Homo-oligomer: A and B are copies of this chain.
Amino acid sequence: MKRAVCLLSGGMDSAVAAAVAKAEGYSLYGLTFNYGQKNRREIVSARRIATWLKFKEHWIIRVYLLPESSSLTNPEKKIPTRITKFIPSTYVPGRNTLFISYGLAYAEALNAETIFIGINSIDYSGYPDCRPKYIRQFQKLINLALKKTISGKKLVLRAPLLHLSKDQIIKKGLELGLDFSLTWSCYRSGEKPCGVCPACQLRLEGFRKAGLVDPLVNQTEERET
């Protein structure tokens, strides 16, 4: 059975990307990273998604980054509440490059043929490491970097949501039967999503455009009544 490494943050996008891999018949091997993010709640979600999608293996890996440089890791920097055209303070230097590199080390060791990542370039936050040309360049590096690839075998980095908007991602997830109540997008941790950070705004707007209600919001309301 063909194998895929899925980079799973615990958010919607990587969960949908993993569901795509599952639907294509891959057996799934997951990596989730604890890099000191404020939204460590997403790691709990990643575990639930991995269980739900019947991953063969799922590793939670501690990654060591300097916390100062991002509002997502520095306790003294506030998470923003506005989506801007600029790269926001939640940007984490080198994050996707490091995560994909871990993915390729794991993929070669497993003899997996594909790495799935949930990044998208439409309703995203202006991060340089979420752009199509970044992914294309990384593929070129993979083609040179590994014993596997220089001996003619393929390892393909796939970002199946790269050109989808958030509402399209949600619809695709629902088509694949994904339970979005398992996922966590908020940049904070807590009982319920904050609703005001950029990640919450993009998620809520996605559900609204898709004509749906976020089950996380729903769940919370049900619990409160």
Contacts and interface: CB of A to CB of B under 8 A. Distances in A.
Contacts of A98: 98, 101-102, 105
A93 B66 contact: no
Interface string A77-98: 0000000000100011111111
A186 to B, nearest CB: 23
A2 B119 CA distance: 34
Interface residues of A, number: 42
Nearest to A95: B105
Nearest to A135: B144
A52 interface: no
A180 interface: no
A68 B133 CA distance: 34
Contacts of A149: 128
Nearest to A108: B93
Interface in A29-64: 59, 61-62, 64
A137 B147 contact: no
A94 B141 contact: no
Contacts of A124: none
A128 B150 contact: yes
A85 to B, nearest CB: 14
Contacts of A68: 109
Question: When A and B form their complex, which 7 residue pairs have the shortest distance between CB atoms, in order from nearest?
Answer: A94-B105, A93-B108, A101-B101, A66-B109, A69-B109, A98-B101, A97-B101
28 contacts: A59-B64, A61-B64, A65-B106, A69-B108, A69-B109, A91-B147, A93-B105, A93-B146, A93-B147, A94-B102, A94-B108, A94-B146, A95-B105, A97-B101, A98-B105, A100-B101, A128-B144, A128-B145, A128-B146, A129-B144, A129-B146, A133-B144, A134-B145, A137-B137, A137-B140, A137-B141, A137-B144, A140-B141
